[in-house]
Copies of this chain bind each other. A is one copy, B any other.
Amino acid sequence: MAKKITIYDLAQKLNISPATVSRSLNDHPAISQKTKDKVLSVARETGYRTNKFAANLSKQRSKTIGVIVPKLNSIFMSTVLSGIEKIANNFGYNLVISQSLESQEKEKLNAKTLFDSGIDALLVSLAYETENYDHFTTYTDRKIPLLFFDRLCDLPNCPTISIDNEAAGYDATRHLIEKGCKNIVHITGSLRRNVYTDRLEGYKRALYKNKLPVRPENIIESDLNIYKVQEFVAYIKASKHKVDGIFVSNDTFAVNCIKELKKEGFRIPEDIKIIGFNNDPVSEVISPNLSTIEYPGYKMGILAGQSIISHLNGSINIQSADQIIIKHKLIARESTQI
């Protein structure tokens, strides 16, 4: 039962050459339908399975796409992955997923391992830490399609998929301003990452535009780990200028801020209005419901998958554009309006 059967076995059974068997199985035009049918039927009977190792070796491609993400276990990231997987699966690609755990070293290692394992293309969302991009030159040098999503990198010739984070940051901040906030704190992730710097730029622009001061002490860079929430809230309480709005670059952190602020006696949104980012499911669970920016992760995954596959196929179309910007949307809920 556990016998592995090869094209040579099939060839022998059918008294034809292995070449013909191979071509038949791949539906090569130079083979007659009659022969193909015979081969196919015997292949089915015998339970033949093509040996991917051999096929990969001679074709020099693996029908496998690699992915490096910071962390698997966030609802946003797993939603993106879910989209990527769907497309990959549809097109017969396997997906090798690895996580950098926000570490540059691990990202490097993963990039190397994936390269060695012979992936046809690589999708990356950068780690917090990453400052140096040399580990990707292996790919660019050998023309292996490389695409960044969400946390981008400005390598030349690398397509990217993201939302317009600057505009989103602007929208979020403007929303707070429109609701009457005068002194808005922004808590952001690592400013090494475009997603956060861009949102910060948007935040600043909204303040400028509304003639509000940009106070350095109101911009807080953090790893957004929720155990930092208490510290952050203490900081808010101690602030010289009374804080009346918070723009958090991440729903999970925002939700925990709400919890902590409520515990400290703040009324949301009366005393402080809060807006998050991502439209994570928790944003609708917290009371008051969290206003946020919708970040369509699934769609991003789908597009990333489609994009990389059309690059692989060499087809030129919208999907193979160099920069795809997905629309975001402000979702106003209770945490910013009475």
Residues of A at the B interface (CB closer than 8 Å) are 1-2, 49-54, 56-57, 60, 62-64, 71-75, 77-79, 81-82, 85-86, 89, 92, 94-99, 101, 106, 110, 113-118, 141-143, 252, 255, 259, 281-282, 285-287, 298
The interface centre, meaning the residue of A53, A62, A117 with most chain B CB atoms within 10 A of its CB, is A53
Q: Check A118 against B51 for contact (C-beta < 8 Å).
A: yes
Q: Check B113 against A92 for contact (C-beta < 8 Å).
A: yes
Given the interface pairs A57-B54, A60-B53, A285-B286, the reply to whether A94 lies near B114 with Cβ below 8 Å is yes
Q: Check A82 against B89 for contact (C-beta < 8 Å).
A: no
Give A101's nearest chain B residue, CB to CB.
B86
> Closest CB of chain B to A111's CB: distance in Å?
12
Q: Check B142 against A2 for contact (C-beta < 8 Å).
A: yes
> In the docked arrangement, what's the CA distance between A54 and B101, Å?
31
Q: Check B73 against A79 for contact (C-beta < 8 Å).
A: yes
> In the docked arrangement, what's the CA distance between A298 and B101, Å?
14
Knowing that A73-B75, A73-B79 are A-B contacts, what are 6 other residue pairs whose CB atoms are under 8 Å apart, sorted by A's residue number? Answer: A51-B57, A52-B116, A75-B75, A82-B99, A285-B286, A287-B287
> Closest CB of chain B to A109's CB: distance in Å?
8
> Closest CB of chain B to A316's CB: distance in Å?
22
Contact residue among B49, B75, B116, B141 (Cβ-Cβ distance under 8 Å from A2): B141
Copy number in the complex reads 2
Give A259's nearest chain B residue, CB to CB.
B285
Q: Check A85 against B113 for contact (C-beta < 8 Å).
A: no
Given the interface pairs A72-B78, A78-B78, the reply to whether A52 lies near B96 with Cβ below 8 Å is no
7 chain-A/chain-B pairs, Cβ below 8 angstroms: A1-B141, A52-B116, A52-B118, A53-B53, A77-B78, A78-B81, A282-B285
CB neighbours (8 Å) of A78 from chain B are 72-75, 77-78, 81
Give A63's nearest chain B residue, CB to CB.
B117
CB neighbours (8 Å) of A96 from chain B are 64, 94-97
> Closest CB of chain B to A53's CB: distance in Å?
4
> Closest CB of chain B to A25's CB: distance in Å?
12
> In the docked arrangement, what's the CA distance between A99 and B74, Å?
17
Given the interface pairs A64-B96, A73-B75, the reply to whether A49 lies near B116 with Cβ below 8 Å is yes
Contact residue among B1, B113, B142, B285 (Cβ-Cβ distance under 8 Å from A255): B285
Contact residue among B98, B116, B282, B286 (Cβ-Cβ distance under 8 Å from A95): B98
> Closest CB of chain B to A233's CB: distance in Å?
16
Given the interface pairs A2-B142, A143-B2, the reply to whether A82 lies near B75 with Cβ below 8 Å is no
> In the docked arrangement, what's the CA distance between A227 and B287, Å?
20
CB neighbours (8 Å) of A64 from chain B are 96, 117
Q: Check B99 against A85 for contact (C-beta < 8 Å).
A: yes
Give A57's nearest chain B residue, CB to CB.
B53
> In the docked arrangement, what's the CA distance between A143 and B1, Å?
11
